[in-house]
């Protein structure tokens, strides 16, 4: 009964999406307010039914109803409750249901909080959301129904893939989808603007918060996924240039570019046509990512060819939305008027440069990810494009981008003063040079590249802080004045500085981890000691334990540094009986931003156990950087400027700001 | 500071060799220089049964076989390029994570730089066209029309009482 109710709710959501995608458009055409307002009620009702459907699937997983195929294939009665819930989206059907539920959520949010939007714009935006939603409801109902029953229900389920039985699955996919799908809002706004043929700075003000929300979630989602891979997969890697990762990186790069071009559009009414195009491209890349991950085309073109129903369906959706929106763009974009002139050296110019590099980086990832597929389809030749290719092509694009990054916020709108900005960045530059010199002196003969890269990271961080120091007149005015100024600064300024600093922090982490990582690989017996980066790790012993749905071999290590005992670490290896597969549970010891990482291999007949120990200096910076970026985004989001319709500040606090 | 010295010490020892892999203890060659070469090569070679993983990262049995093969070739005195050629002859271009520059991969290698250059040129042309167009229209933009002046006056007048409040 529950499954049928969930199925029915999904059908109702589809029906509502179909109404939402047509009626408001007619209303807008005829100028009928009642019909335009249908968009709002259907979007909210659609959210309700999508949520009911998703909730019922979750309930089926929680009560382990193995008469439902989806539950049978991905759950087990002995599985802990958390993983019963997260298992809902740990499979194709459930994750697609999560996808549309989040789409409905965003549509519902626009409906609920879009009161200050012009009525026809809201009607158009929600109608476009309705098209996307309808397409994906159809996809789920026709090719990936999670509510299908089994004729003779089995007693026990097949269990979830053990690698997925981790807290990471609870956080990573929902975050990622909130990001992916969040970009549908800017897409809908762009298409609505093209249909209406009207776009202005106010449009950018409405779009920017939604883009920012999506970007924050995508940033956190990608970082979280990377950390999950790092501790779960057992060899300490955190980014593999795997097509699935690239699929999430592409919308991130395009979305970051969009975030910046929308600033120009909001402030200066320029780059309108480009911003519209980026909005379309960003969500198109989200759709492309969904296609790549969900169609099976990545595992092999042949796997795709043998069971093409799902893949072809998503490919059709992809062609329809990307082709349709780009055609609309080609047809209508010329009608949009360009505004605001600016000199090449200006804040706008810097943001254009940012866009040039980010979109090129995105293109590089796009080509690297799709080229092997295209080549195989066209010529039958199989090639691989992996980390060495991306490191060589993608990496260099970020160098000029990061060198230019601190200059951007220091340049004035319209016409900037590059010499003045350089002068103000002098301190940051000197700090970077000192860091490079010191590192070079320390590691004579070592990696030549690393000190330069770290210097660049320090330049970016110090450059971001320079902007804050300048604006608060820290070191120049008394501390109280600086404090008052700091409070008076718009939160968006803090947000920019933190987000930019986050990039530098991440770069430092990446360079340190890849350059100065030290490792020990060996077989260890009881009471043997391994030494890694000055730490002594003694294997105290190995024990066996029975978990809820697995057996586990736990090794205990005592870590000492200069004779002082730090902690006991217990890496383990789990065997999942139902699937007959195993996972390594790495043990991590965090010291500042550095980590010691132990993962276990197999046990030998003589009692020795294969052990890998890494010392990863400053590795945590790789994820602190994105967290800082997301935090900057949140600060920016809380800026009252972005709260559309917010009343003007009661007191003119602007008086405290230095003239730009 | 002590930790920093530890990093630097490690850096000197490792001479810039990154890691992250699934190499087993019994695979490691006794000569550290040869082992380092094997590791560097492994990072460029694909585990053919995995999704875009290098044999250095992969736990798959095939990856282990390839790692051992690479070490075997190195032990017999092959140069790095000889090892690569041997593997490509045996498994095809698919084994390379960084494809060679061949007629098949021209677009792959050239499109990213071309995108950057093309984008840069497009921006330059666009900027030139705009500034020349902007200069022509400039006199009109510099001064407000009478209508705009009047509107500005009205707005300023409306703003003034607010500020006192």
Question: How much is the average pLDDT of A75-100?
Answer: 92
User: Among residues of chain A, what percentage have pLDDT more than 70?
Assistant: 95
Question: How much is the average pLDDT of A572-577?
Answer: 87
Q: What's the pLDDT at A106?
A: 96
| Mean predicted lDDT score pLDDT of chain A | 89
For residue range A98-136, list pLDDT tens digits in order. 999 999 999 999 999 888 888 999 999 999 999 999 999
User: Minimal Cα–Cα distance from B20 to chain A, Å?
Assistant: 5
Please state, in angstroms and as integers, the Cα–Cα distance from residue A368 to each residue in A16, A166, A179, A302, following that order.
Answer: 40, 30, 23, 20
DSSP for B24-42, please give it. Answer: -GGG--SSHHHHHHHHHHH
User: What is the C-alpha separation between A375 and A370, in angstroms, rounded?
Assistant: 9
Q: Which residue of B has its CA nearest to A512?
A: B7
Helix (H, G, I), strand (E, B) or coil at A524: strand
Q: What are the structure tokens assigned to A416, written together?
A: 């900037």
Q: ipTM score here?
A: 0.82
Given B55, B71, B100, the domain boundary residue is B100
Please name the residues in contact with A324: beta carbons below 8 A apart, sequence gap of 6 or more: none
| Domain shared by B75 and B94, yes or no | yes
Q: Which residue of B has its CA nearest to A363?
A: B112
Which residues in chain A are closer than 8 Å to B20, comparing Cβ atoms?
235-238, 517, 614
pLDDT classification of A658: cutoffs 50, 70, 90: very low
Question: How much is the average pLDDT of A272-277?
Answer: 90
| Domain shared by B63 and B45, yes or no | yes
Q: What's the pLDDT at A359?
A: 95
Whether residue A405 contacts residue A502, with contact meaning beta carbons closer than 8 Å, is answered with no
User: What is the C-alpha separation between B143 and A173, in angstroms, rounded?
Assistant: 55
pLDDT classification of A344: cutoffs 50, 70, 90: confident
* A299 pLDDT above the threshold of 70: no
For residue range A360-419, list pLDDT tens digits in order. 999 999 999 999 989 988 988 888 898 899 999 998 999 999 999 999 999 988 888 888
Q: What are the structure tokens assigned to A175, written together?
A: 């975050």
CA dihedral A295, A300, A303, A308 (to 10 degrees): 40
Q: What value, to the nearest 5°, has the Cα angle with vertex A515 and ends A512 and A517?
A: 80
Comparing C-alpha atoms, which of A108, A94, A143, A98 is closest to residue A17?
A108
pLDDT classification of A633: cutoffs 50, 70, 90: very high
Given an 8 Å threshold on Cβ–Cβ distance, is B25 in contact with A443? no
Cβ density class A334-366: b for 16+ within 10 Å, e for less: eebeeebbbebbbbbbbbbbbbbbbbbbbbbbb
Whether residue A325 contacts residue A127, with contact meaning beta carbons closer than 8 Å, is answered with no
Q: What's the pLDDT at A555?
A: 93
User: Minimal Cα–Cα distance from B25 to chain A, Å?
Assistant: 5
Question: How much is the average pLDDT of B76-96?
Answer: 90
Please name the residues in contact with B158: beta carbons below 8 A apart, sequence gap of 6 or more: none
DSSP for A236-287, please give it. Answer: -------HHHHHHHHHHHHHHHHHHHHHHHHHHS--HHHHHHHHHHHHHHHH
B21/A500: higher pLDDT: A500
* A490 pLDDT above the threshold of 90: no
CA atoms within 13 A on the CB side of A345: 9
Q: Which residue of A has its CA nearest to B127?
A: A344
Q: Alpha helix locations (H) across A75-200?
A: 81-86, 92-113, 119-143, 167-196
Whether residue A369 contacts residue A375, with contact meaning beta carbons closer than 8 Å, is answered with no
| Domain shared by B25 and B90, yes or no | yes
User: What is the C-alpha separation between A326 and A312, in angstroms, rounded?
Assistant: 20
Comparing C-alpha atoms, which of A149, A1, A2, A143 is closest to residue A71?
A149
| Domain shared by B121 and B146, yes or no | yes
Which residues in chain B are closer than 8 Å to A443, comparing Cβ atoms?
8, 11-12
Q: What's the pLDDT at A307?
A: 66
Given B77, B100, B123, the domain boundary residue is B100
Helix (H, G, I), strand (E, B) or coil at A201: helix
CA atoms within 13 A on the CB side of A325: 29
pLDDT classification of A304: cutoffs 50, 70, 90: low
User: Minimal Cα–Cα distance from B9 to chain A, Å?
Assistant: 8
How many structural domains comprise chain B? Answer: 2
Burial (CB count <10 Å: 0-12, 13-18, 19+), residue A144: buried
Among candidates B28, B99, B163 on the partner chain, residue whose Cβ is nearest the Cβ of A383: B99
Partners of A615 in the beta sheet?
A: A518, A596
Cβ density class A59-86: b for 16+ within 10 Å, e for less: bbbeebbbebbbbbbbbbebbeeebbbb
Given B100, B123, B149, the domain boundary residue is B100
Residue A614 at interface with chain B, using a CB cutoff of 8 Å? yes
Residue B8 at interface with chain A, using a CB cutoff of 8 Å? yes
DSSP for A399-412, please give it. Answer: HHHHHHTTTGGGSP
Q: What's the pLDDT at B141?
A: 53
Q: How many CB pairs under 8 A join A and B?
A: 167
CA atoms within 13 A on the CB side of A81: 2
Partners of A612 in the beta sheet?
A: A521, A599
| Domain shared by B114 and B63, yes or no | no
| Domain shared by B95 and B109, yes or no | no
Question: How much is the average pLDDT of B139-149?
Answer: 64
Q: What are the structure tokens assigned to A167, written together?
A: 């807290």
Whether residue A177 contacts residue A289, with contact meaning beta carbons closer than 8 Å, is answered with no
Q: What are the structure tokens assigned to A120, written together?
A: 């026809």
Given an 8 Å threshold on Cβ–Cβ distance, is A446 in contact with B104? no
Q: What's the pLDDT at A453?
A: 93
Comparing C-alpha atoms, which of A236, A451, A361, A293 is closest to residue B116?
A361
Given an 8 Å threshold on Cβ–Cβ distance, is A344 in contact with B116? no
CA atoms within 13 A on the CB side of A9: 24
Which residues in chain A are closer than 8 Å to B93, comparing Cβ atoms?
381-384
Residue numbers of the domain that contains B146: 105-164
* B10 pLDDT above the threshold of 50: no
- Give the pairing type, strands A572-576 and A551-561: antiparallel
| Domain shared by B35 and B65, yes or no | yes
Q: What are the structure tokens assigned to A141, written together?
A: 């109902």
CATH number of the domain enclosing B22: 1.10.8.640
Given an 8 Å threshold on Cβ–Cβ distance, is A386 in contact with B52? yes
Burial (CB count <10 Å: 0-12, 13-18, 19+), residue A149: middle
* A211 pLDDT above the threshold of 70: yes
Q: What's the pLDDT at B15?
A: 30
| Domain shared by B89 and B125, yes or no | no
Q: What are the structure tokens assigned to A565, written together?
A: 């005992």
pLDDT classification of B3: cutoffs 50, 70, 90: very low
Given an 8 Å threshold on Cβ–Cβ distance, is A521 in contact with B131? no
Burial (CB count <10 Å: 0-12, 13-18, 19+), residue B61: exposed
Q: Which residue of A has its CA nearest to B102?
A: A383
Residue A531 at interface with chain B, using a CB cutoff of 8 Å? no
Q: What's the pLDDT at B159?
A: 65
Q: Which residue of B has its CA nearest to A601?
A: B24
B53/A610: higher pLDDT: A610
Chain B, residues 16-75, CB within 8 A of chain A, namely: 16, 18-26, 28, 43-44, 46, 51-54, 57, 59
- Give the pairing type, strands A587-591 and A518-524: unpaired
Angle between helices A272-295 and A243-268 (to 10 degrees): 160
For residue range B13-55, list pLDDT tens digits in order. 333 233 334 677 778 888 888 888 998 898 889 888 777 788 8
Q: Which residue of A has its CA nearest to B40?
A: A388
pLDDT classification of B135: cutoffs 50, 70, 90: low
| Domain shared by B24 and B58, yes or no | yes
Neighbours of A138 (CB within 10 A): 15
Q: What are the structure tokens assigned to B26, written together?
A: 């019994």
| Domain shared by B70 and B12, yes or no | yes
User: What is the C-alpha separation between A550 and A578, in angstroms, rounded?
Assistant: 8
| Domain shared by B16 and B75, yes or no | yes
Q: What's the pLDDT at B108?
A: 92
Please name the residues in contact with A632: beta carbons below 8 A apart, sequence gap of 6 or more: A494, A495, A496, A497, A498, A499, A500, A501, A502
| Domain shared by B9 and B71, yes or no | yes
B4/A563: higher pLDDT: A563
pLDDT classification of A660: cutoffs 50, 70, 90: very low
User: Among residues of chain A, what percentage have pLDDT more than 90?
Assistant: 56
Q: Alpha helix locations (H) across A150-242?
A: 167-196, 201-232
Q: Most A CBs within 10 Å: which of B10, B15, B41, as the mutation test of the A interface?
A: B10
* A548 pLDDT above the threshold of 80: yes
Which residues in chain B are closer than 8 Å to A445, comparing Cβ atoms?
12, 15
Residue tagged 């089994």 (tokens): A150
Residue B135 at interface with chain A, using a CB cutoff of 8 Å? no
């Amino acid at each position: 009964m529950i499954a049928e109710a969930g199925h029915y709710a999904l059908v109702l959501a589809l029906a509502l999406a179909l109404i939402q995608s047509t009626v408001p458009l007619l209303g807008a055409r005829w100028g009928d307010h009642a019909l335009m307002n249908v968009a709002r009620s259907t979007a909210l009702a659609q959210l309700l039914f999508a949520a009911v459907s998703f909730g019922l699937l979750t309930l089926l997983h929680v009560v382990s109803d193995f008469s439902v195929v989806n539950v049978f294939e991905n759950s087990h009665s002995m599985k802990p409750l958390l993983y019963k819930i997260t298992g809902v989206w740990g499979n194709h059907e459930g994750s697609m249901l999560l996808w549309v539920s989040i789409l409905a959520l965003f549509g519902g949010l626009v409906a609920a909080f879009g009161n200050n939007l012009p009525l026809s714009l809201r009607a158009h935006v929600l109608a476009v959301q309705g098209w996307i939603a309808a397409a994906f409801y159809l996809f789920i109902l026709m090719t990936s129904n999670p509510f299908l029953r089994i004729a003779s229900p089995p007693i026990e389920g097949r269990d979830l893939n053990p690698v997925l039985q981790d807290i990471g699955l609870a956080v990573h996919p929902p975050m990622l989808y909130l990001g992916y799908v969040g970009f549908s809002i800017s897409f809908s706004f762009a298409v609505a603007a093209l249909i209406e043929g009207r776009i202005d700075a106010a449009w950018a003000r409405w779009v920017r918060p939604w883009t920012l929300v999506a970007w924050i979630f995508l940033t956190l989602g990608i970082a979280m996924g990377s950390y999950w891979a790092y501790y779960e997969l057992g060899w300490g890697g955190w980014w593999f240039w795997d097509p699935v990762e690239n699929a999430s990186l592409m919308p991130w790069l395009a979305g970051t570019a969009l975030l910046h071009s929308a600033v120009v559009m909001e402030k200066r009414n320029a780059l309108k046509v480009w911003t519209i195009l980026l909005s379309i491209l960003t969500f198109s890349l989200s759709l492309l990512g969904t296609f790549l991950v969900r169609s099976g085309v990545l595992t092999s073109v042949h796997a795709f060819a043998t069971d093409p129903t799902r893949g072809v369906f998503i490919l059709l959706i992809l062609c329809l939305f990307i082709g349709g929106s780009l055609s609309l763009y080609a047809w209508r974009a010329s009608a949009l008027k360009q505004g605001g002139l600016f000199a090449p050296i200006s804040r706008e110019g810097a943001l254009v440069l940012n866009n040039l590099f980010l979109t090129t980086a995105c293109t590089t990832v796009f080509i690297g990810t799709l080229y092997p597929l295209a080549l195989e389809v066209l010529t039958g030749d199989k090639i691989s494009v992996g980390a060495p290719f991306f490191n060589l092509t993608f990496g260099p694009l970020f160098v000029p981008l990061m060198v230019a990054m601190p200059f951007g916020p220091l340049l004035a709108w319209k016409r900037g003063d590059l010499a003045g900005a350089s002068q103000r960045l002098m301190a940051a530059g000197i700090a970077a040079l000192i860091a490079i010199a010191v590192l070079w002196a320390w590691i004579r003969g070592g990696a030549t590249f690393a000190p330069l890269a770290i210097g660049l990271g320090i330049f970016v961080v110090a450059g971001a802080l320079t902007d804050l120091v300048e604006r608060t007149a820290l070191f120049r005015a008394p501390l109280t004045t600086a404090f008052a100024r700091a409070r008076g600064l718009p939160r968006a300024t803090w947000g920019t500085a933190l987000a930019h600093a986050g990039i530098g922090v991440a770069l430092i982490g990446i360079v340190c981890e890849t350059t100065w990582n030290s490792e020990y690989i060996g077989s260890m017996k009881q009471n043997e000691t391994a030494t890694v980066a000055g730490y002594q790790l003694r294997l105290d012993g190995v024990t066996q334990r029975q978990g809820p749905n697995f057996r586990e071999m736990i090794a205990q290590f005592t870590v000492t540094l200069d004779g002082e005992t730090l902690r006991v670490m217990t890496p383990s290896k789990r065997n999942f009986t139902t699937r007959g597969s195993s996972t390594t549970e790495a043990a991590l010891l965090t010291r500042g931003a550095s980590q010691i990482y132990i993962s276990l291999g197999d046990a030998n007949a003589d009692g020795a156990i294969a052990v890998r120990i890494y010392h990863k200096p400053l590795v945590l910076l790789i994820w602190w950087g994105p967290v800082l970026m997301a935090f900057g985004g949140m600060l920016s989001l809380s800026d009252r400027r972005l709260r559309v319709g917010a009343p003007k500040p009661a007191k003119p606090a602007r008086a405290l700001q230095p003239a730009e | 500071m002590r930790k920093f010295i530890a990093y630097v010490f490690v850096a000197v020892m490792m001479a810039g060799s990154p890691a992250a892999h699934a190499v087993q203890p019994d695979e490691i060659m006794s000569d550290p220089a040869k082992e380092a070469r094997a590791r560097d090569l492994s990072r460029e070679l694909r585990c053919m049964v995995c999704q875009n993983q290098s044999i250095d990262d992969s736990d798959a049995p095939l990856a282990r076989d390839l790692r051992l093969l690479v070490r075997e070739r190195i032990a017999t005195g092959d140069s790095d390029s000889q090892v690569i050629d041997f593997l490509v002859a045996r498994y095809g271009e698919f084994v390379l994570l960084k494809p060679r520059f061949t007629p098949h991969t021209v677009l792959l290698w050239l499109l990213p730089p071309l995108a950057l250059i093309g984008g840069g040129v497009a921006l330059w042309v666009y900027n030139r066209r705009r500034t020349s167009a902007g200069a022509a229209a400039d006199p009109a933009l510099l001064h407000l029309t009478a209508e705009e002046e009047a509107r500005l006056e009205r707005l300023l007048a409306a703003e003034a009482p607010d500020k006192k409040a």
